Amino acid sequence: MASWSTETYRTSLENTISMLQAERNESIYEVVQCMMHSENETTDYTNDIATWLDKVQTVHSRFQLCEYYLSKGQNANAQNTLSAISTSFELSEKEQTELNAYTDFFNFKIGLQNSSISIHELDEVKKTDLTNIAEMFPSTYGGQRAQNALCFFYNDCITKSFAIVPPQNKKVVESVNNISVQQEIKVYPNPAKDHVTFQIMNPDKSCEGCKIVITDLHGRTVNEGELNELSGMYIWDTRKIVPGAYIYQVKTNLSVESGKVVIMK
């Protein structure tokens, strides 16, 4: 019988620890979400939420704490939390980009508050500023928060089409390089209670590996999966989902499209 080397055993333990930490963090996020949605005029879970999020030693958890403080009008706490990130973490290049993106979005929101402007009543100049954040940092927490706001409040959702490129013929590639295809995505029912169906109409082979990601308005992923290759369909079970608005993004081989869906109980 082959024996494990010390390195193999260590790697196995590290993978197990990483998995358990991810599960722990996910459970903490669920607890925090429940507390956030349970708050009312007589209950205030600010200290509890801050304590729980502090247990998740990630940059994203700090961003979420900042967002929570801002929603409570505790701008000083939000600013202190944001300022402490660079000294509390040894940031990788990717995490530094995440911090830069969220700092831009954070400062944008503070500017709105100082001017007594709500994010749903932006003029064209402010909307352009928000769009710039979304486009400059498309795969970051801050960029996604900006895009979610644009999609939810202004119906400015992502719609990107890609060229159909036959790889076997470079001359053909050059001739069709400007041809793009946008697929129709049907979402129903919307608003929904128990489930939401996402379906790409006439999927053909373009639905192989199609993915869907659903986030809340704070940018946190609440569901993700792959659409059925044959039917182009994905059904999201929403029976345990907190009522509210969510942003979906469907990525196919031909396009990336996003929109909003509302869950009611």
What letter does residue 241 receive in the DSSP assignment?
A: S
What letter does residue 89 receive in the DSSP assignment?
A: S
What letter does residue 201 receive in the DSSP assignment?
A: S
Topology of the domain comprising 159-263: Immunoglobulin-like (2.60.40)
Q: What is the pLDDT along the chain (265 residues), one digit of tens a residue?
A: 455 566 677 787 777 877 877 777 777 767 777 777 667 767 777 788 788 777 777 888 889 889 888 888 899 999 999 999 999 999 999 999 999 999 999 999 999 999 999 988 999 999 999 999 999 998 888 998 898 889 888 888 876 554 434 444 433 333 333 333 456 788 999 999 999 998 877 655 556 678 898 988 777 788 888 887 777 788 999 998 888 889 998 887 777 788 899 999 7
- Type of residue numbered 136: M
Helix, strand or coil, per DSSP, at residue 83: helix
Structure tokens, 190: 């919307």
pLDDT for the residue 14:
75
Outline where DSSP puts E strands in the chain.
Answer: 159-163, 180-181, 185-188, 195-200, 211-216, 221-226, 233-237, 244-251, 255-263
Structure tokens, 258: 């996003």
Residue 231: count of CB within 10 angstroms of its CB:
11
The ranges assigned to domains in the chain are 6-154, 159-263
Can you tell me the distance from the alpha carbon of 157 to that of 69, in angstroms, rounded to the nearest whole number?
Answer: 27
Quote the pTM value. 0.67
